[in-house]
Amino acid sequence: MCALVSAASTLVPLPAQAERPPVDVVLDLRPPADAASGQTVDTLEQHGTARVDVSVGTLDGGSAQWADHPVGGLVVDFPQPTSDVLVPRAVLAVRDLGAPDGTQGGDAFSPGRRSFSFGADFRPSLLQRGRYDDGDNVIQRGLASDASQYKLEISGGRVACYVTGSRGTLGIHVGDSVDPRAWYTARCSRLGEAIVLWVAEHRPDGSVQAQSRTRHGLLGEVAWDSDGPPVAIGGKLGATGELVRSATDQLNGHAGRPVIVLDSTLALECEWSACPYAVAL
């Protein structure tokens, strides 16, 4: 098992698989079987329950490339920061396609009042702000001006998440400045009228440090209509999936294994070491 230390709560092993509460992993994106390091990313393979379309939106010559993960497999390498006049940008867009018969049947990424978790593995580049880059968005749905939103990002050098619902917004951050030499696994969870942010730092020396924080407050319903905005990975997208040119919040660095889990009571797992933990609230 990996050694985890929590600054704000106790980490305890999850119960056996048969005893775990049922969850719906609506999004679990992984590299296609034929992907190779150095190739341009044009889609990801869905291993979750929702029917989705995954595309890559770009601006000013930007692209995303496949890169090797330090423990095996591939991750997405997003554009690096630049001081050039043209700033290359690339963001993944994930759209819910509805039921197999062509009917919508609800929005898979619209949790309403249900508990849910979302997150990814990521490694930031050397922290450097560009013209359209005052934050590094990891995974997001909706904008700050919308009635509903959830977002995991690096803001001010720290991992942060925000959830907005019909009754209010909760935001939280964990830790000090992120280390561009380290990889991170982060999960933001809405659990009732509270959010939990859980972050594991996978350090270059092989150790793993995990922290979590909880914030309570009114959230209400986190919901969209069936034609709601796509889920954005690596940046910011508008209502119809277009990159927000004036403030893309491009993730400069690498990201992999984005997930969204409905009915989750977990602040989720140590992805690499096969040692699942839950936060004891």
Q: Is a pLDDT exceeding 80 seen at residue 264?
A: no
**Secondary structure (3-state) at 156:** coil
What the block records as the tokens of 147 is 């009635």
Q: Are 241 and 95 in contact (CB under 8 A)?
A: yes
Q: What is the percent of the chain with per-residue pLDDT over 70, rounded to a whole number?
A: 80
Q: Is a pLDDT exceeding 50 seen at residue 189?
A: yes
Which pLDDT value is given to residue 58?
Answer: 95
Give the Cα separation of 226 and 169 in Å (integer): 22
Give the Cα separation of 61 and 46 in Å (integer): 26
Identify the bridge partners of residue 151 per DSSP, sorted by sequence position.
Answer: 140, 162
pLDDT band at 21 (very low <50, low <70, confident <90, very high): low
Q: What are 44-61's pLDDT values in tens digits?
A: 999 999 999 999 999 999
Q: What are 124-139's pLDDT values in tens digits?
A: 987 555 555 567 999 9
Identify the bridge partners of residue 152 per DSSP, sorted by sequence position.
Answer: 139, 161
What mean pLDDT do residues 115-132 have? 79
pLDDT band at 246 (very low <50, low <70, confident <90, very high): confident
184 closest CA partner among 166, 160, 218, 168: 160
Give the Cα separation of 34 and 150 in Å (integer): 32
Q: Are 88 and 79 in contact (CB under 8 A)?
A: yes
Q: Is a pLDDT exceeding 70 seen at residue 278?
A: no
